[in-house]
Amino acid sequence: MAITVAPNPRTLQWRNFREVPSLPDEDAHIDIDFSVPNRPFRSVNGRFRMAETFQIGVAPVATVRRGASQTSALLAHEQGHYDIGILVAHAMARDFMALEADSVGELSTAIRDCFNRHRQTLMRPVQQKYDLDTNHSQNAVQQQRWDGLIRRCMGSTPTCDRLDNLQL
């Protein structure tokens, strides 16, 4: 079974950001939009599982404060947020592959719970620690450290399941 991750775009550019009049406490912000296709379930030895192959789509929902300096450092920091989202999608895919249930209803509930666990429960603390440690890109030493953590984790997908000891 191969559930893969398809980020679009792979690399952020300032043109991916929508200008807004203001943002609370930051010049730019990114949320992650995950899309999981509705594919027919399959039955394996009387148990229901997700489709054998599909892609989890990952897309940025990016905003920048009108008048903010659109620097390469800030863009790189926002790319880090996006990369964390991509890593979360890989962890989600790994967990989706292991799901099975006695009924379609139970599997649907398990899928929803898995999606919400990664999207709402696990990703938020990683994103918050990234911003706290790097001071929204202003702490260059911590930004470099996080860049390395993210790069190493991206290099070991789909098996990487933690960033800075926080579960994806």
pTM of this structure: 0.95
SS3 3: strand
Residues 150 and 143: beta-carbon distance below 8 Å = no
- pLDDT computed for residue 1 by the predictor: 57
- How many angstroms separate the CA atoms of 125 and 163, rounded? 10
pLDDT at 157: 84
Paired tokens of 63: 């905003």
Which pLDDT does position 68 carry in this prediction? 96
Query: 3-state DSSP helix/strand/coil percent for the chain, to nearest 5?
Result: 45, 25, 30
Residue ranges per structural domain of the chain:
2-167
Q: Count the Cβ atoms, other than its own, within 10 Å of residue 61.
A: 12
User: 17-32 pLDDT, tens per residue?
Assistant: 999 999 998 999 999 9
> What pLDDT does 120 receive?
92
Residues 6+ apart with CB under 8 A from 64: 14, 17, 18, 19, 20, 23, 27, 28, 29, 70
Across 103-109, average pLDDT? 97
